[in-house]
A and B are shown apart, each in its own frame.
Chain A
Amino acid sequence: MNDMEAEQQESHFNSIGTAAFGLFLILLGAGIVYFAKDIRVFSFGNNDPGPKAVPLGTGVILFVGGVLQIVVAFAREGLLDRLRTKSKSEKQSVTKLKPATARILWMLGTMVAYVFLLNTIGFAASTSLFLVATLKLFGSGWKEAGMTTIVIVAFVYLLFEVVFKVSLPTGSLF
């Protein structure tokens, strides 16, 4: 009995996560089932369940599983209660969460920009920009950021291109 109570408390904490995961699965499952129409099936009468079988199966499981996760979130993990209590203490939690969330979002934005730049201006330039931006975001000084950037870029370049002859992205501009 004690175990179950403990589990319930922990799951209470997770209820928003469970619901979000459920929603994600519902959308994904629906997408999987819908886009299965594009898969070409060859039939030779050789008893092959076909290329659609496994993706469709996983799609249905994910969709149903997603619905169940949401049900669990509301019924067993008390999402409604959580939402109610949250609205009361909202201000507190928001101010607590904000700097971290903002940093993660910044980081993601920088990553996307980096990957985009890799494709256009190549490895050395984009990685230097990315590293300086990231290190500044993490609170380095200019000197530290600059040094680290030079060391990492030079190290990766020497290691991949020179020693192992593995090409790095060159970018389409050059």
Chain B
Amino acid sequence: MNKTKSANQPSPSPPCLRASVVKNGFQWTKHSRSFRRFRSSFTLLVCVTILGCQKDPQAAIDSYPSKTVTVVCPWSAGGGTDRCSRFWAERLQTKFENPFVVMNRTGGSGAIGHSAVARAKADGYTMGMVTVELSMMKQMGISDLTFRDYECLMQINADSAAVVVRKDAPWKNLQELFDEIKSSKEKLKMSGTASGGIWDLARVGMLDAAGLDIHSVTWVPSKGSAPALVQLMGEHIDAVVVSVPEAMPQIEAGELRLLAVMDDQRHPDFPDIPTLKEEGCDWSAVGWRGLALPKGTPPEIVAKILVQCEEIAASEEFKEFMGKNGFAVVIRGPEEFTKFLEEQESLWTPVIDLAGYAQK
């Protein structure tokens, strides 16, 4: 909620301040008849309050969570990230027996929601679902946030990007598509996101790794993966790059066909579809999601949340939920997650440079 103060600024912790106000009011009514008694008790109260505040951090950690925790989702209600956020909020609520509420803060390619988490008070009462866009928004000049502005808690999911074509497309595999791109006079059209969106960058990375000119394909910008899939089915474009679950219903219905997944391993639901690496193209791109807290959250609180998150991640319900939604489960703890995010940053930065979006 707090938008004006930066996370580093020392601010009185809320339970303590609120308590003092209540006490103050109480004292006032009780002793208002005698000004002297009021003054002395007020002095006492101030002392107690200051002492209380100094002692407070430990108390706040011990009593955590003692009020509603907000889980910020940087994407709109109804989408995949929102469904994940709501699942985690609901599970954490049961585990902690304390309200966890999802707050959707959308806009700016996720920048608004991500910055709402990074700039929140680092008291453990604001956490957020961070997504793959965090690995590229600084380089793109959309915001100055990186994963270093968070206490990265746990990665929960990674969906590989995939090259998808119509069922009747002439290309049987990725190599044939690449050959067509090389030889065809008219440029092929691909889509999936806006220009400079994540799947456009994944496309750039793939073409570059395959040794093709990144401009040898026309990227037709779209509002998101769903409109891009419609354009593909309507034969307005030739191929799309989206994450596997985004195209799952159409693939299962037999309208669309997977050519390859951009991942290190094959997708468990499509064991016959090769990875890019198998096709001789060293590139992988995944859309990941993870939980994070503002930088500077007391480590004890982080540890408290982490314990519960680990239990949830290991639970059957979580696997069932992810399975139903078609999301791939990838769990990484804090250190591994941070390391993964470093890798992601060094993966995307050159691609952003190459695509010409780098902030100068």
Binding site for B on A (CB under 8 A): 40, 42, 44-46, 48, 119, 165, 167, 169-172, 174
Cβ of B152 to closest chain A Cβ, rounded Å: 24
CB neighbors of A among B1-38 (8 A): 1-5, 14, 17-18
Please name 30 pairs of A and B residues whose Cβ atoms are closer than 8 Å in the assembled complex, sorted by A: A40-B141, A42-B195, A42-B356, A42-B357, A44-B195, A44-B215, A44-B356, A45-B215, A46-B195, A46-B215, A46-B218, A46-B219, A48-B195, A119-B4, A165-B99, A165-B101, A167-B1, A167-B70, A167-B101, A167-B103, A169-B1, A170-B1, A170-B2, A171-B1, A172-B1, A172-B2, A172-B4, A174-B14, A174-B17, A174-B18
Cβ of B22 to closest chain A Cβ, rounded Å: 12
Say yes or no: is B196 at the interface (Cβ < 8 Å to chain A).
yes
Q: Which of A169, A170, A172 contacts B5 (CB 8 A)?
A: A172
Chain B, interface size category, equals 20 to 34
Contact digits for B125-139, partner A, Cβ 8 Å, 1 yes 0 no: 000000000000000
Contacts of A45 in B (CB 8 A): 215
Q: Give B218's nearest chain A residue, CB to CB.
A: A46
Cβ of B348 to closest chain A Cβ, rounded Å: 17
Question: In the bound complex, what is the Cα–Cα distance between A97 and B40 (angstroms)?
Answer: 56
Question: In the bound complex, what is the Cα–Cα distance between A20 and B356 (angstroms)?
Answer: 44
Cβ of B193 to closest chain A Cβ, rounded Å: 15
Cβ of A79 to closest chain B Cβ, rounded Å: 42
Told that A44-B215, A167-B103, A174-B14 touch, could you supply 15 new A-B pairs with CB distance under 8 A?
A44-B356, A46-B195, A46-B218, A46-B219, A48-B195, A165-B99, A167-B1, A167-B70, A170-B1, A171-B1, A172-B2, A172-B3, A172-B5, A174-B17, A174-B18
Question: In the bound complex, what is the Cα–Cα distance between A47 and B228 (angstroms)?
Answer: 19
Contacts of A171 in B (CB 8 A): 1
B5:A42 contact, CB within 8 angstroms: no
Question: Which 8 residue pairs of A and B lie closest in terms of their CB atoms, listed nearest first?
Answer: A170-B1, A165-B101, A172-B2, A172-B4, A42-B356, A174-B14, A167-B103, A42-B357
Contacts of A170 in B (CB 8 A): 1-2
Question: In the bound complex, what is the Cα–Cα distance between A169 and B103 (angstroms)?
Answer: 12
Question: In the bound complex, what is the Cα–Cα distance between A45 and B218 (angstroms)?
Answer: 10
Contacts of B218 in A (CB 8 A): 46
In this complex, which of B2, B17, B141, B219 has the most chain A Cβ atoms within 10 angstroms of its Cβ? Answer: B2
Cβ of B136 to closest chain A Cβ, rounded Å: 15
Contacts of B141 in A (CB 8 A): 40
Question: In the bound complex, what is the Cα–Cα distance between A45 and B216 (angstroms)?
Answer: 12
Cβ of A37 to closest chain B Cβ, rounded Å: 16
Contacts of A169 in B (CB 8 A): 1
Question: In the bound complex, what is the Cα–Cα distance between A169 and B2 (angstroms)?
Answer: 9
Cβ of A55 to closest chain B Cβ, rounded Å: 17
Question: In the bound complex, what is the Cα–Cα distance between A158 and B101 (angstroms)?
Answer: 15
Cβ of B160 to closest chain A Cβ, rounded Å: 26
Cβ of A75 to closest chain B Cβ, rounded Å: 44
Cβ of B343 to closest chain A Cβ, rounded Å: 26
Cβ of A57 to closest chain B Cβ, rounded Å: 19
Question: In the bound complex, what is the Cα–Cα distance between A44 and B5 (angstroms)?
Answer: 40
Cβ of B246 to closest chain A Cβ, rounded Å: 24
Question: In the bound complex, what is the Cα–Cα distance between A40 and B5 (angstroms)?
Answer: 29
Q: Give A122's nearest chain B residue, CB to CB.
A: B1
Question: In the bound complex, what is the Cα–Cα distance between A171 and B14 (angstroms)?
Answer: 11
Contacts of B17 in A (CB 8 A): 174
Q: Give B214's nearest chain A residue, CB to CB.
A: A44
Contacts of A119 in B (CB 8 A): 4
Cβ of B297 to closest chain A Cβ, rounded Å: 18
Q: Give A48's nearest chain B residue, CB to CB.
A: B195
Q: Which of A42, A165, A172 contacts B196 (CB 8 A)?
A: A42
Question: In the bound complex, what is the Cα–Cα distance between A60 and B301 (angstroms)?
Answer: 55
Question: In the bound complex, what is the Cα–Cα distance between A140 and B195 (angstroms)?
Answer: 56
Q: Give A47's nearest chain B residue, CB to CB.
A: B218
Cβ of A149 to closest chain B Cβ, rounded Å: 20
Contacts of A48 in B (CB 8 A): 195
